[in-house]
Structure 1
Amino acid sequence: MFLLLSPALLFRAMSQVHVEQLNLKPVAAYFLAAGLIFAGTLLVRGFNRTAAVLGMANTYSNLVMIGIPLVGLAYGPEGMVTLLTLVSLHALVMLTTATVAVELAVAREDAQSGGPQHHMALLVWQAVRNAVVHPVPIPILAGLLFAQTGWTIPAVVDTPLMLLGQAFGPLALVMVGVTLAQNRIGPHLHGAMGLALVKNLLHPLLVVAIGWLLGLGGLPLTVMVVAASLPMGANVFLFAQRYQVKQELITASVAVSTLLALITVSAVMGFVAWLYG
């Protein structure tokens, strides 16, 4: 599903967007808020691999599986353009930042214990490559490049793309439900709730504050605030698994964050509708 439906949706959505229509200021507000939370997590918990993984849990949103169908339904094509601008950069910025932080922490731990040294430039390059060579940013960038040609997608191609894209939202939400049903929460409920509250509430509130400082508002900032309120993405668990850090806690946190989002996302959407409506 992920390798077929999401590229069709993402390419088609961006194939009619011109570069001059993109607004990067709201995206900057999102990343500034995420950066503050990530840095704050390192400051509070110390500069180590555990803090870096928890910092990612506090900031990495489920933009594709939940964000795309939600924003498409609530805010239409214009909102989708704003969201996909963020999606095209999200994994690259967040995964690279978190990878560099973890690897620096690992290198520091190894240096203290007399272990092997890591080549940071190679690690950064691998993080950037893995974030770009991925089924999410590639169709977004390809669609954006196609739009700059001024061409239109022939109907014989556009219709199947549209049907595939329309199937993505419902199936993505079903997959989220299946994932939640398989997760055990109980032993880590307290810690998971703390991480989920930071992700689901503190992140969007910081985006609101930074957007206000930057003089932003309207639909673009609304979409960024809602994106920040989305629950943790699955990449957080994969990241924790890769570095073997707090895997059970992160699994529980993804589940709690997703369940909590049923309330918090609705509350945030109502708040921004009142604030910017």
Structure 2
Amino acid sequence: MGTAAALEKLVPVLLAFGAGVLLARRKTVPAEASKAFADYAFLFAVPCYLFGNIYTSDLGALFDWHAIGAYAAAAALAVLLIAFASGARGLRDPRDVALRVMAGVQVNTAYFAVPVFITFFGTAAPIFPVLLFQVCVLSLVVISIMELGRAGESSAGPAQRLSRAVVASLATPVVLACNAGIVLNLLSVHLPKAVLDGASFVGDSASPIALFALGLHLGGVGLDVRGTSREEMALIAFKCLAFPLLAWAVCGLLFGVRGEWLTYLVLIAAMPTPQNLFVFAQRYDVGVDLSASLVIKSSLVSLLLLPLWLQTVAG
């Protein structure tokens, strides 16, 4: 796929995202409304989309364990690289390290990857296995470190705090929707067409609403490019450049993943830092300003680089 064709594919993404920025800057729609739009997308529309598509998918083709294992290996290597670099910079608090690992390795699936994949490929199905791996493995590791690092800050013991955090993570609507779709699919449970049509109708709104919410948020907070620190630039470069390259090398060269799955995995790795990085930073009171900046700036850099990644790996 050439650069022009890739850019054409991104037009709907840029339109929804740019409309949010413009309307927030002109104060036509208050930037504070981004939370309501984001909540609708994350808590309702995206779960509906994921549930309906997983339920009707061929799970054997969807969960290509060779490809997913290759991506997991690339992510594990990326975690080690960021942890080592953080330690070399003198960071000793495990929560600081965990936050930077999340910023450099986890990807924005619900708000960014899902709408982009729907635009590029007509489906976001390849994201589902990576989403589950990210939530059920990577996020749980980060949560565990964050919770155990809060020793003495709560009357509850470390085990109790960790248990509550794990349950809360696994009980998010996105994860529940994925797991429900998998279970009902495996059990061959028949669902009425009206239920699936309803999930499809709501799910179709997930992409534009999620991107519009992200644009509203950016339009409201603004963008301080000159104030970008060296650490921010390094983490953004790792997330948007180094991690996709690492995924391409590990998945393609080391594990021999080819064809569409290699394209999917590299593009997933090229997605920006997830918005819940900021949520975690606020919850655990660590790197709040850094997290907000990384989410916004990595989203813009990712938008600019996606056509190049698509042309490189799919061309």
Do they superpose with TM above 0.5?
A: yes
- Bigger mean CA deviation after superposition, 189-198 or 61-70: 189-198
Q: Deviation of residue 185 (structure 1)?
A: 4.1
For residue 228 of structure 2, the aligned residue among 189, 214, 219 is 189
Change (3 A) 1:155 1:263: same
1:264 counterpart residue number: 305
Matches for 1:25-104 after TM superposition, within 5 Å: 25-46=66-87, 47-48=92-93, 49-77=95-123, 80-103=124-147
Q: Deviation of residue 116 (structure 1)?
A: 9.3
Question: What code does the residue aligned with 1:177 have?
Answer: G
Structure 2 gaps of 5+ residues are 1-39
Structure 1 gaps of 5+ residues are none
Q: Deviation of residue 121 (structure 1)?
A: 4.2
Q: Determine the C-alpha separation between the residues in 1 that align with 2:213 and 2:312.
A: 28
Note the aligned Cα RMSD (angstroms): 2.3
SS at match of 1:84: helix
SS at match of 2:228: helix
Larger RCO of the pair (alpha carbons < 8 Å, separation 6+)? 2
| Contact 2:147/2:162, CA 8 A, preserved across alignment | no
2:197 counterpart residue number: 159
Q: Determine the C-alpha separation between the residues in 1 that align with 2:75 and 2:146.
A: 16
SS at match of 1:216: coil
| Contact 1:193/1:256, CA 8 A, preserved across alignment | no
1:12 counterpart residue number: 52
1:201 counterpart residue number: 241
For residue 291 of structure 2, the aligned residue among 238, 250, 256 is 250
Q: Deviation of residue 52 (structure 1)?
A: 1.8
| Contact 2:267/2:310, CA 8 A, preserved across alignment | yes
SS at match of 1:81: coil
The C-alpha deviation readout for 1:98-132, integer Å capped at 9, x for no partner, is 1233455566xx8xxxx999955445433432221
For residue 140 of structure 1, the aligned residue among 143, 154, 178 is 178
Q: Deviation of residue 65 (structure 1)?
A: 0.9
Aligned residues: 266
Question: What code does the residue aligned with 1:257 have?
Answer: S
Change (3 A) 1:35 1:184: farther
What percent identity do the matched residue pairs reach?
26
Structure 1 runs of 4+ aligned residues shifted over 6 Å read 115-118
